[in-house]
Structure formats: C-alpha cells, structure tokens
Structure 1
Amino acid sequence: MANKERLVVIGGVAAGMSAASSARRVKPEMEALVIEKDYFISYGACSLPYYISNDVKDFNDLISLTPKVAEGERGIVVLVRHEALEIDTAKKEVMIRNLEKNEESIVAYDKLVIATGGLPVKPPLPGIDLENVFTIRTLLDGIAIKKYIDDWNTFEVCVGAPECLYVNRYGAGRRPMKGVIVGGGYIGMEMCESLRKRGLEVTVIEKMDRVLGTMDLDITRIVEEKIQAEGVKLYKETSVQGFEGSQGKVTKVLTDKGEFEADLVLLAIGARPNAELAKRSGIGLGVAGAIQVDEYQRTNIPDVYAAGDCAEAIHLVTGKKAYIALGTTANKQGRIAGENAAGLNRRFEGIVGTAVTKVFDLEVARTGLSSIDAGREGYKFFTSTITGRSRSSAYPSGKPITVSYLVEEETGRLLGAQMVGREGVAHRIDTLATCLYGKMTVEDVARLDLGYAPPFATVWDPILVAANVAVKKLLR
C-alpha cells in the first residue's frame, strides 16, 4: 500500500490549524502533522487583554481546540513543544527539535504550510530583558502578566498604606502599582483598560503624535480624551531610551522627556513577521519582511504555502502587497492554504485592513486607508467628518458616533473610513468595509438602502450622513 500524502504545518495557532483542518476536510485521506513550539494551539490571542482584566476568568476559555481533540475528531497530529529548525525544500524535509527532550528528528512532507505567525517588536534597548518587562503576543505572555498581578493581589496581607507591602508565595514585597505601556496602538489602548481594572496606575508612552497608529486626529483625539478621563497618563512624541531596575526587576522607564517609575512594563510597539526560518530556506520575502505569497498562498518554492501573520496580502484599496497582522486574515489565509495544499485552486482575494477595538466604553474602528496611509501612497484626497447618533433622538439611550471618510478627489471613490462612539460602531464599519471591497464611491454609499428603526439607527444613518456631506465637498 502506497504511503499517504502528508501535509506538514509549521505553527499551530490561527492560520496553522485552519490550514490543517481545511486540508483534511478537502482530502480526508491526507495526513496532517502540525509542529507547534508552544504548549497551546488554536487560541484567541485577541482576547488576552480581557483575560488579564479578569473579564475572562480562565485562560482555557480562550482555547478553541486542544491537541487531543484535533487528533481525535479531525485526524490532525499535533506535536506541541516542538520547534522547526530548518526546511530542506529540495528533499522536502523539516528538521524539528523536541524541546522537552532536546532531541532532533526529520519529518518529510509532500506539502508544507508555514504559519509561524508574528513576533512582538522588541528593540535592543538597555534593560529591556529585565524582569517584568512584558510583551503580549502569545497565551503564555498573557498568563505571565496575569500571574504577576494575581500573585500579589490573591495572597495579599497588607501591612501598611498606601505603599503597602503584600505577602505572597514568594515572600514580602510591594504590590505592582505603576504600569507603563510603551506604544499606543490597539493593544496598548486595550491594555489601558485591563491594567486600570486591576488597580494599577497607567502611563502610556507613544512615539507618534497620536495613539492608534495612522488613524486620523479627528478620531484619535476622542480616544485620547477618554483614556485620560479614566486616569491614564499619556505622553506623546516621547521616545523610550531604556529601562532601569533593581535586583533584576524593572523600576524605571527612561525616555527623552524624563523617567517614569514602573512595576510593570508592557511593550506594545507592534508586530513583525516571524519569517526567519523561511528566509533561511530560500523562500522569498516581500513587504515588511513577510513571506511573499500569491493569491493562492503559494510561495516561490513549489508545494510550500504560507499564511497568517508571517505572510503578506493584497490590499484591495491600493492593489499593492501589504502587511497587516489580523486574526481574521490569518484564519482566512490558513483555510485557503490548506485547501490548495489538498488539491483545490482557491484564491484569497485580499484585505482592506478592517479593525475594531474597545477602549473603556468606546468602540473604535477603521477600514481602508487613513490620511497618513493615502499620503504615503500618493493619492489626492480629502477627508469628511461628521458626528451623528446611534439611535433615533426620540428613542432613549442613543449615543454620538463620529464618522470620518477618506475620499479620492478626482473619482469620489471611498478610500477609507474611521469611527468612534459608545455604541453602534463595530457593525457599521463592516458596511463600509464591504463598500471598499466593491470599490464604491461616496455617491454609491449615499444611495445605500440601510435598515432603520428608532432603537437601532436614525432615518439618515450616520453612514449616509457622512456620505452626503462628502458628496457636497466633492461637487464644490
């Protein structure tokens, strides 16, 4: 009897497990072997701030699939605590190491999917390896941060105030009171709320002139006002130069504008593709150092695919390759890679960079390009911003929603949209993402037949109001 065709997947979180599962659905007789360096597979990394805040009590609730279930119900063999060391694309072999036994072995493949994900940006600053300087990328990262906070707050025996000593399993010490977040992006903003809920003083240090990356100032000003109203100290246009500590633990963050005391530091500077293994194997890299793939998730090497936060994607607004690390993209690319590895010919059309986040009681969302993005791409554009309401003014509990459109001057094409408000934002942005997918103009958007009832919207939904205002600007 001939050997079965084997798919090997490197990486077992979003893209990797999606690839293995979809391949087995398409071709049940195909072997699927997943190599995962960590202890866990298939978990919701986007929920980590809510685990740290105690909104999610048990990290097991973040895990959607275990190795045992993957093998028993899906026929996928998962080797956790195994690291892929080298890929020999000529021999179609992967050298792996059992991290528990420190033993190396060779695994042969017929098809290979690389889903090694992303890595947190961690610049080589003095003191960056001090204890309690955390990143938040994996489930283990989230567990470590929560454990550090819990160890003092769970076993507390206060012997003084306000700088009280607590006794925990490790002895006496000052409980973590001051948290410094380096970076004001999505994760940084979400972690503001998480750490405040856990009773920490929070300081955010951001290198740019705004939070939330390249989002426009009409939106970011509202977010900045909110976090400061919640007691968060914000320092913009400030560069971190290093960290100082005592007895191996961080105590200060050093910047070009002074020093900040810290019991806990969170590096939330962004993510970069984990593509070094692919690069060493002769697999081509593209934008931002991500693995270069075509619309079928194929790399430049036959029978080798890549998906998720290690791979690039087509941006449907610009038509160019982009690197935007999002969980939704990882799952979709993983599915396409697995299906094609199993013999199909499916395309991943691309992305428009839709993202939504919760900052205290604000919903903040974007899709497509911002003004900074469009400027970099050379577009001639204008912005149009309005503030509407989430529900009819006659219906109680409606909230303001600020909507900002980015419009191409000559064509009126919608290039991007951003929103912020206390309700009704998260799903409205999906409508505008669909408009971007269809390359619609603001006149097209203004003609949309949207649902209306007083508990859900106004007669003229904020989406339509914003489009009409943009049309007037376009016609001037």
Structure 2
Amino acid sequence: MKPEQTIVVIGGNAAGAAAAAKAKRINPNAKVILFEQSKYISTGTCELPYVLSGEIDDPLSVVFFDEKKFEYEKNVKVFTKYNVEKINVHTKSILVLSLIELKPFEFKYDKLILATGSRVKRVPQFSSELTNVSPLKSVEDVIRIKKFISEAKQKRVCVIGSGYIGLEAAEALNKLGFEVYLIEQEREPFPSTDKEIRQRVKKILDEKRINFLGSAENVKYRFNNSKVAALVIEGRQIEIDFAITCTGFSPNNSLAFQAKLDIGKYGGIKVNNRLQTSQKDIYACGDCIEIKNFVTRIDDYFPLATLAHREGHIAGENAALGNAYLQPAIKNISVKIFDHYFAQVGLSEQELQNKNIPHSTVEETVPNLVKVLKESNLVYGKILFDRSSKKILGASFLGGKEVSGYADIISTYIKNNIPATQLANTEYNYTPPLSPMINLLSVLGRKAAHSFSQGKENNDVTYINNNMDFKL
C-alpha cells in the first residue's frame, strides 16, 4: 500500500488532467489537487479550428470535463480560476490566488507537477489592449472570435502566421465567407516545411482565393479606438473586422524560472526520462518541457497533444511513487489544408540541413487510388534517409487521408531502425475503393534501393517524376 501524500498539479489541460488522474489511480491514498488558471479544464485544443468553422457546433462540446465531473470520475479536487503565482521549493509550498475573490493563500505539497502548457508568441506591433485581436488556442479564444464573426461588417479578416493553426484558421474563415488575408514573416507559406510542400500549399491557397502576403515586413497596420482597423500594403489600405494571431508557441515557463528550475535551449523545462525536474519533488509534462528527439538524440520542443497526454501519465505515475519512463519521441504531425492533408514525421530536410546531417532524398507523386476511379487523386511523398545506414530520418506527404497512415508507418520504421529500402519489401493491402495497386511507400522504397544500387551512397540523390503535376 502506497503512503498518504499530497500531489499538486498546476495546469488542467491535456497533460495536467492526465497527470492528476493517473496519480490518483496509482496511489488511491494520495490527495490530488489540480489548479487551473482559466475557466475550463480538459479541453480539445486541436478541435478549435473546427469549432470556429461550425463543423463542431458548440464550443463547450470540446470541454470534456468540468470540476464536478472530474472529481466524481477521477476523485481529484479541481480549482478553476485559480492562479499559482509562486513556488517555494524550500518549504514545498505554492502561493495561489483566487481570480474571483482575489485572495491569496499558501498550499503545501509533497510532490508537484507542472503542466503549465505554452504561450502564443506575441505580434510586436499589437498591444495587449486591442479588443478585436485574439489567438486561437483556448475555448475562451474561440468564443471570443465567434463574437467577432457575428459583429463583422466588412467580412474581411487578417490571420497572422501561416503554420499549422494559421492554415486551419484561414480555411475556417474562408468557409464562413470571409475574405482572408494570410500574413507570413517568411516569403512562402508553411515555413517549417520543405520547399516542395511550401510551393504546393501556395498553389492551394491561390486556388481557394486566400490572399497570401509573404515577407510581412511589407505589411503595416492602422489602429483606431483600441482596434486594428486596416492593413496597409504598399500604400493600399484594406479595412478588416478583426485579426487572429497564429504565430507559434513558446513554453509557459514563468513559474519554473521563478523556482530556478533548469531551463533548456528552447525555453522549456529540463526533465529527465522520468519527467523529474532539477528539483527532485517537482515533475513537469506537456508543452512546458523539452524532451529527447529520437532522431537526433538531443533535447527538442514538441508542443503536441498526443505527447502531452503521454507525458502526463508518466509524470502522474512517478509523482505517485511509480517508476515510468519516457522514451525519446518522434515528431509525427498532420493537418488538413482545404481538400488536402499534410503529414510530417521525423525531421524535415530544412532541419537536416540546419543541423548539417548528411542525407539523401527520394520523392514521388502517384495516384492514391487506381486511375479509373473518379475519386482518384495524386499524393506526394518525400523520404529523407541516412546515406550510409539507409535509416529513415524523416518524411513528408501531401494528398488525401491516406497520408496519416503513411506517416505512422514511417514513424514505426524510424523507431525500429528499419532501412528505407525495406519499404519496397513491405506488403501493402489493395482494394480499388480504398488503396492503390502500387503503394507510394513501395515506390519510394524502390527508388531508395535504386540510389544505393547505382553506387551513389555518398551523394544527395533526388528522384522526381516530372510528368505528374500535383492536382488541385
């Protein structure tokens, strides 16, 4: 039987909720308390763009637990609208402020779990006092933006940032009939991806009449009555109703800094493989930490819901005197871009180049179903692999829903150190309405094998089918 202990969790989203529930399951004798600054816990962040578009009707439908339900089902006491302002590592206590009563109080812990998540990177030109600007990160945000939508007069909106969330927000607003201006600091959209993907995404945006404005230093803003009122582009003024900031995330580490916990290269909390921080009684999980990248074997920053949930379980188990370990992770991420789907796994070519990692590439565009079916479309894939060992370092795909499965297969290959050439020897299922006779991965595997059979192991090798344009 495990001893009585007090386990405090700070943060109530994917990682925090998972950590609290797991800690209570591992040690039923523990008193587990969760503090959350906002009104909601256990929310679906990835679903928010689809709430915005109306594909999910009610914003509150992505709130999976409230305080009462969580306490009833998980036996964890939850306090929402409570902000933890300070950690005292010497007295093992936290200073908590009720945001309703504005009364501070001290709370003791035996073990503490930080699940403070991430913050949206701010736009330097925008003050916090602007009343028609919002990120798209929380249920409160999507409720606020829906109010902007209902009050819009110009039916014109600015989305700042063309990464994953920026593209999703642009699509959602386009579906609602808004004229969308998508602003990006870099020259091309989706800057974290390889050039082949960036070029294809630009074609998709043009087809859907999204006004993409790269090199954002050319874009200025006009403000009026605490609102961003217009874009100014080369002397031309474009009035807008509101702006959504989708400029990426950074770890929310203010409490960790205050407690003098070790911080990593990307601003995330440093943890060991048990998710223990530099203070042995404090654990951390989710978007506030850095974890080991399986491909590079060095610490990296992966603000992904799937990893946050896994990390929450591990931190919760270990805080409850368990013994769980986090293995190095592979980035595996996907997004819907209008009628297409993108998936990336492992490292991009841009990342490999930045890290000076020698590699070879193969790429191809093929039908995702047999050509005679009217539903058949083209899918693009690119594999990056080590020149000598043939091990896969990363891959990216753009096509239909099949790209999700491709990315998962490649993730399995990376995790098990299977060489890229074995993709040609894998058995793929085939039935005309579902899958092609010749799988894209098989084609890429044969091309990888061909590059080695030609004795080109020491050179970058790229194969492209120039006769197949990506169909929009």
Q: Are 2:85 and 1:107 aligned? A: no
Alignment of 1:54-453 (within 5 A): 54-125=54-125, 127=127, 129-152=129-152, 175-239=153-217, 243-253=221-231, 260-453=238-431
Question: Which secondary structure does the structure 2 equivalent of 1:375 belong to?
Answer: helix
Question: What is the aligned partner in structure 1 of residue 33 from structure 2?
Answer: 33
Q: Given that residues 127 and 243 in structure 1 are in contact (C-alpha distance below 8 angstroms), is that contact kept between their aligned partners in structure 2? A: no
Give 1:447 deviation, angstroms.
2.0
Query: Which residue identity is paired with 1:421?
Result: G
1:437-461 deviation line (CA, Å, top 9, x unaligned): 1122211222222222222222321
1:338, 1:317 → 2: CA distance? 26
Check conservation: 2:3, 2:29, Cα contact below 8 A.
no
How far apart, in 1, do the equivalents of 2:334 and 2:166 lie?
14
CA distance 1:127–1:69, change in 2 (3 Å): closer
Distance 1:105 1:318, change over 3 A: same
- The secondary structure found in structure 1 opposite 2:345 is strand
Question: What is the distance in 1 between the residues matched to 2:238 and 2:286?
Answer: 36
Shift of 1:410: 2.3
Structure 1 distance, partners of 2:229, 2:157, is: 10
Give the CA deviation at 1:214: 2.1
Could you say if the C-alpha distance between residues 350 and 225 of structure 1 is closer, same or farther in structure 2, counting changes exceeding 3 Å? same
Post-superposition Cα deviations, 1:302-356, rounded to whole Å, max 9, x if no partner, equal 1110000001111101111001211111111111100111121111112211110
The answer to which of 220-229 and 445-454 deviates more is 445-454
Cα displacement (A) at 1:125: 2.1
**Gap change, CA 1:126 and 1:428, over 3 Å in 2:** closer
Counterpart Cα distance in 1 of 2:128 and 2:106 = 35
Q: In 2, distance between residues paired with 1:459 and 1:103?
A: 66
User: 1-side partners of 2:265 and 2:236: how far apart?
Assistant: 35
The amino acid that maps onto 1:351 is A
Q: Which moved more, 1:220-229 or 1:126-135?
A: 126-135
Once residues 92 and 219 of structure 2 are traced to their aligned partners in structure 1, the CA distance between those partners, rounded to angstroms, is 45
Q: Which residue of 2 aligns with 1:14?
A: 14
Match of 1:458 among 419, 436, 461: 436
Q: In 1, distance between residues paired with 2:75 and 2:92? A: 22
Deviation at 1:68, TM superposition (A): 0.6
Aligned-partner SS, 2:197:
helix
Query: Under a length normalisation based on structure 1, what TM-score does the superposition of the two structures give?
Result: 0.91
User: What amino acid maps onto 1:231 in structure 2?
Assistant: R
Q: Deviations over 1:241-263 (max 9, x none)?
A: 75322222211235789764322
Residues 30, 320 of structure 1: CA spacing in aligned structure 2 closer, same or farther, 3 A cutoff?
same
Letter in 2 for 1:419: F
TM-score normalised by length of structure 2: 0.92
Structure 2 CA distance for partners of 1:240 and 1:435, relative to 1, 3 Å: farther
What is the Cα deviation at residue 396 of structure 1? 4.3
C-alpha contact (below 8 Å) 1:126/1:241 kept by paired residues: no
Amino acid in the other structure paired with 2:333: A
Deviation of the 1:180 alpha carbon: 1.1
- 2:394 partner amino acid: G
Q: Return the alpha-carbon distance in structure 1 between the equivalents of residues 360 and 354 of structure 2.
A: 14
AA aligned opposite 1:462: L
Distance 2:198 2:66 in 1: 39
Conserved 8 A contact 2:51-2:58: yes
Amino acid of the structure 2 residue aligned with 1:442: A
CA distance in 2, matches of 1:415, 1:373: 10
- Matched residue SS, 1:403: strand
3-state SS of paired residue (1:289): coil
Structure 2: distance between partners of 1:258 and 1:176: 16
Cα deviation per residue 1:62-101 (whole Å; 9 max; x = unaligned)? 1111111111121110000000000011111011000000
Flag the 1:217–1:259 CA change in 2: closer, same or farther, 3 A.
Answer: farther
Secondary structure at the aligned position of 1:465 is classed as: helix
Task: Tell me the distance in 2 between the aligned counterparts of 1:208 and 1:190.
Answer: 18
How many angstroms apart in 1 are the aligned matches of 2:432 and 2:364? Answer: 20
Report how many aligned residue pairs link the two structures: 453
In the alignment, what sits opposite 2:461? none
